[in-house]
């Protein structure tokens, strides 16, 4: 029996599992390990390059984008104690924007490019990116608490 990866014990990865399991309304992925469940978020450079640039992002990929930013929003709420609301808008060409608001404050504003190629080189890089975005958002909320409280 192998030892579980401590990365999957972090708050972010636990929330990613919750968000991803919430997408599985029919229980198709019940019984899968954390690594198996989150595997679609990991794309090697070769796998990313194999995805054509032209074409609409599919619903499954868009749901993964939403799950990633929903997880960050939940962690912002946990840190700040105020409701964080994610908004993901992606055009049919795969371009768009992610906003996470706290009160009247935009705590996170990220452009999206090539959403149909959304993924990370490893679980570690996914967590690092989320931690970076979380730190920025919490810092902004900390700088403008009166706006976040509106």
Residue 28, domain member (yes or no): yes
Q: Using CA of residue 134, residue 138, residue 144, residue 146, what is the dihedral sign?
A: positive
* Domain total in the chain: 1
pLDDT at position 79 over 50: yes
Structural domain that includes position 40: 6-148
Q: How far is Cα 48 from Cα 28, in angstroms, rounded to an integer?
A: 25
Q: Which residue has the tokens 């705590």?
A: 107
Residue-wise pLDDT for 1-27, tens only, equals 455 789 999 999 999 999 999 988 888
pLDDT at position 112 over 50: yes
**Domain CATH number, residue 75:** 1.10.3100.20
Read off the pTM. 0.92
What's residue 2's pLDDT? 55
Residue 1, domain member (yes or no): no
């Amino acid at each position: 029996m192998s030892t579980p990866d401590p990365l999957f014990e972090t708050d972010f990865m636990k929330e990613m599992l919750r968000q991803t399991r919430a997408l599985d309304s029919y229980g198709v992925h019940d019984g899968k390990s954390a690594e198996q469940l989150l595997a679609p978020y990991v794309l090697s450079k070769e796998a990313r390059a194999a995805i054509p640039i032209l074409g609409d992002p599919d619903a499954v990929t868009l749901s993964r984008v939403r799950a990633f930013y929903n997880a960050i929003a939940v962690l912002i709420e946990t840190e700040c104690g105020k409701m964080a609301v994610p908004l993901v808008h992606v055009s049919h060409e795969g371009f768009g924007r992610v906003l996470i608001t706290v009160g009247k404050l935009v705590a996170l504003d990220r452009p999206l490019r090539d959403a149909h190629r959304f993924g990370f080189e490893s679980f570690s890089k996914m967590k690092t990116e989320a931690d970076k975005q979380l730190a920025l958002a919490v810092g902004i909320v900390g700088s403008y608490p009166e706006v976040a409280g509106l």
